[in-house]
Structure 1
Amino acid sequence: MGDLARSWWLLLIRGAAAIIFGILALIWPRMTLLVLVIFFGAYALVSGVSELIAGLRHGARARSRTWLIVSGIIGILAGIAALIWPGITSLALLYVVAFWAIFTGIAEIVAGVQLRKVIDNEWMFIVGGILSVIFGVLLIVWPGAGMLSLVWLIGVFAILYGIAMIALSLRVKNFTPGAGVP
């Protein structure tokens, strides 16, 4: 805890950076989405190249080596696609979230109906599932608004996270090693 107290200012900087990022995401949501897609593309490209190299240099069995090579090639292709076509990449991500929400919601509805025999208030599980399905369908129907709302959620999260980090930094700044220890 003493090390954390001595480096309290790092938490403060981290919190301030998160708040600035969050505000910028709310002010410029389209630019934020583009930057996030470009970062994803760069990450996928670097990850793919490292997996490909590992697969080519890997001395293990042919099957694990093949998976590393295939995974590396897919990562490289995904990274290139994200950098060349950022709009399509962001739309594909939105559809992944939408279909995940729909399938998860259906599973929750089914589980809630089956739980009716076992527990009370299973309706909350069913309502959660219905809301998840509605969310997924809305993302499919209005993808532009869905992408914008995801960026807004990221922005709000970053601001709240930044506030928490700043509060933590000020709290640990005042920590005295040995205080409260009998």
Structure 2
Amino acid sequence: MKHKSLGMGKRLVRNWWTVTLRGAIAIIFGLVALCWPTLTLASLVYLFASFWLVGGILLAIAAFQERLQDTHSRLLLVEGIIGIAVSAIAFISPGIAGFVLLYLIAIWAIGTGVFEIIASMQLRQTIVNERLPAVAGIISVIFGVMLIIWPVAQALAFLWLIAAYNIVFGTLLLILGLRLRSWGRRNAKLKIPVGQTRS
């Protein structure tokens, strides 16, 4: 179990840039949606599709860098495939109905949230008290459920809610990625094996 935890820590630190980049992209997407009050449904579809596609590719890259050696890397790949598949649906059907788009966003948010919570459980075996992935995951699940149970007309009017979610979610990922980078550099400088903490 200890050997597995050490490997997990190394993989997370090695892929810190994918976490950071996903966070930055989410923030940019949220800001664009927030500052574009005349955003049409078609534009929103393309915007979300681009976001899902880039995020899915980054997750797939992180998974294949680890050669799918364990459950964590395979979960990354599954999450990436979901993002790419959802983006493909949106690109192929840009005239998608509003309620279908909302359900796609909801499914993506809930799926991403579940994967982030699972990642948090694994990450805490390596980095003590690291809860950022769990917080991001819970926010995603709540957001997805809200879109499903909210009346369509009101949900479409809540473009700002969608933007705010992406900004918050992206900020959490950005902070996590930078913390992973800092944590890895500090351990390397102190020559502390990944998975151990200073006494």
Q: TM-score range by the shorter chain?
A: 0.3 to 0.5
Q: Which has the larger radius of gyration?
A: 1
Name the one with the larger helix percent.
Answer: 1
Q: TM-score with structure 1 length normalisation?
A: 0.41
Q: TM-score with structure 2 length normalisation?
A: 0.39
Higher relative contact order (CA 8 A, sep 6+): 1
